[in-house]
Amino acid sequence: MATENKNLSVYDKATIPNAKDLRFGIVVSEWNSEITEGLFNGAVSALLDCGAVEENIIRWDVPGSYELVYGAKKMIKKHEPDAIITIGSVIQGETKHFDFVCSAAAQGIKDLNVLYDTPVIFCVLTDNTMQQAIDRSGGKHGNKGTEAAIAAIKMAVLGN
């Protein structure tokens, strides 16, 4: 696994722009909520640590990772945040459903980045096992939500 020797929660705060004047949207999948809640908590903690104001963080929940794209699109139109983090967790099963959901979520989030001027950050874990997801959502490899929050801050100020 690419994250095996990397802690996803480590960042150099001195290199991160201050987020106090930025608005963030976070769209969270309810599926595998034990994982997505850990990712959400990591993202919010990092945003606040980098100066974001709690009132400037908007959370919407959607049923699953497939629905993240629609939720993010609607959030862009309704709230005009400076960046959106999409949080999901898809764990390999015995059918091809995993492949379709992962591909649709990745392609849809990519499409939002092409269509809109709001950066949409991909924080969807696509793991083979529940243990891998646990390890990347606050476990031994840190928290991918933290990494996504840092990416959101950097992308929100890109070009400003």
CATH number at residue 109: 3.40.50.960
Residues 24-33: what's their mean pLDDT? Answer: 97
Structural domain includes residue 9: no
For residue 136, tell me if it sits in a domain. yes
- Predicted TM-score (pTM) of the model is 0.93
Give the rounded percent of residues in the chain with a pLDDT score beyond 70.
94
Number of domains in the chain: 1
Is residue 11 domain-resident? no
Query: What's the half-sphere exposure (Cβ side, CA atoms, 13 Å) at 141?
Result: 19
CA neighbor of 87 nearest in space, from 34, 140, 22 = 34
Residue, of 1 and 76, whose pLDDT is higher: 76
Residue 18 pLDDT greater than 70, yes or no: yes
Active site residue 141: no
Catalytic residue among 78, 97, 110, 140: 97
Domain of residue 126: give its range: 41-156
Q: Looking up tokens 């243990």, which residue turns up?
A: 131
Mean pLDDT of the chain: 93
Q: Is residue 30 part of a domain?
A: no
Q: pLDDT: is 6 or 151 the higher one?
A: 151
Please report whether residue 10 resides in a domain: no
What pLDDT, on the 0 to 100 scale, is given for residue 5? 60
- Domain annotation covers residue 55: yes
| Ramachandran angles phi, psi of 153, nearest 5° | -65, -50
